[in-house]
Chains A and B, each alone.
Chain A
Amino acid sequence: QSVLTQPPSASGTPGQKVTISCSGSSSNIGSHTVNWYQLLPGTAPKLLIYTDNQRPSGVPGRFSGSKSGTSAALAIGGLQSEDEADYYCAAWDDSLNGWVFGGGTKLTVL
């Protein structure tokens, strides 16, 4: 059981906007920034969002992050077929003194 809670699946059609939630507690998201990662089979995981809402260079602007209290969200606008992947949120946790991840959300582009 993951410390951070994500929906196991999400879906949308090309061009739509999809939002993936990530819920935590005061010891992790409530106290620290959230990062988001994209995992595609057979490839190195990719950092999508850091410090709640910052995009590394090369990540399209249609990926955005937000945080409020002990919850965070990843929004993907203008959905494309290549966005079909697993998405994970992560944050530092003071109780565990380490990083914790969400259980991952499998995004399907219909």
Chain B
Amino acid sequence: QVQLQESGPGLVKPSQTLSLSCTVSGASISSNRYYWSWIRQPAGQGLEWIGRLYSNGSTNYTPSLKSRVTISIDTSKNLFSLDLTSVTAADTAIYYCARVSGFRGHAFDIWGQGAMVTVSS
């Protein structure tokens, strides 16, 4: 059974960098059958796609966050990570990691439970 688990600080100060990891269990993150994404949900708002990562390390990011986001892979630990720089209160949200399946219409077929991150001094 494939599971994803987000981890990282729940509180980040304004202007600092938000860093989260997503540990994948039950499947190899190096598989070419899937790729990986980060999605967030600010309180009281809808979902926002942040970016995607392929097993070869190539990435795509949403335009509004592109200048501040880096998604990277660590195949030795079977995890991928999100770094978001220069955060403000607007970056306070639940952050989800998800697997993307090409076999299921490139849908986010497995999600983590989410990590709540608050940006505050």
Complex CA–CA separation, A50 to B99 (angstroms): 14
Complex CA distance for A96 and B48, rounded to whole angstroms: 12
Q: Of the 9-residue stretches A13-21, A35-43, A77-85, which lies at the interface with chain B? A: A35-43
List residues of A (77-110) whose CB comes within 8 Å of B's CBs.
88, 90, 92, 96-104
In the complex, are the beta carbons of B46 and A88 less than 8 A apart?
Answer: yes
Interface size for A (C-beta < 8 A) is: 27
**Contact (Cβ within 8 A) B112 A101:** no
A47 on the B face (CB < 8 A): yes
Interface size class of B (residues with CB under 8 A): 20 to 34
Contact B47 A101 (CB under 8 A): yes
**Residues of chain A within 8 A of B104, CB atoms compared:** 47, 50-51, 54, 56
Distance, CA A42 to CA B111, complexed state (A): 12
Known contacts: A96-B62, A101-B46, A101-B47. The answer to whether A56 contacts B112 by CB under 8 A is no
Whether B105 lies near A50 (C-beta < 8 A) is yes
Residue A69 CB within 8 A of the other chain: no
- A50: which B residues are within 8 A, CB to CB? 101, 104-105, 107, 109
Complex interface: chain B residues within 8 A of A42 (CB):
113
Interface residues of A (CB under 8 A from B): 2, 33, 35, 37, 42-47, 50-52, 54, 56, 88, 90, 92, 96-104
Residues of B bordering A, CB below 8 Å: 4, 37, 45-49, 51-52, 60-63, 96, 98, 101, 104-114
Known: A44-B112, A44-B113, A100-B49. 17 other contacts (CB 8 A): A37-B47, A44-B96, A44-B114, A45-B98, A47-B107, A50-B104, A51-B105, A52-B105, A54-B105, A56-B109, A88-B46, A88-B47, A96-B62, A98-B60, A99-B37, A101-B48, A103-B45
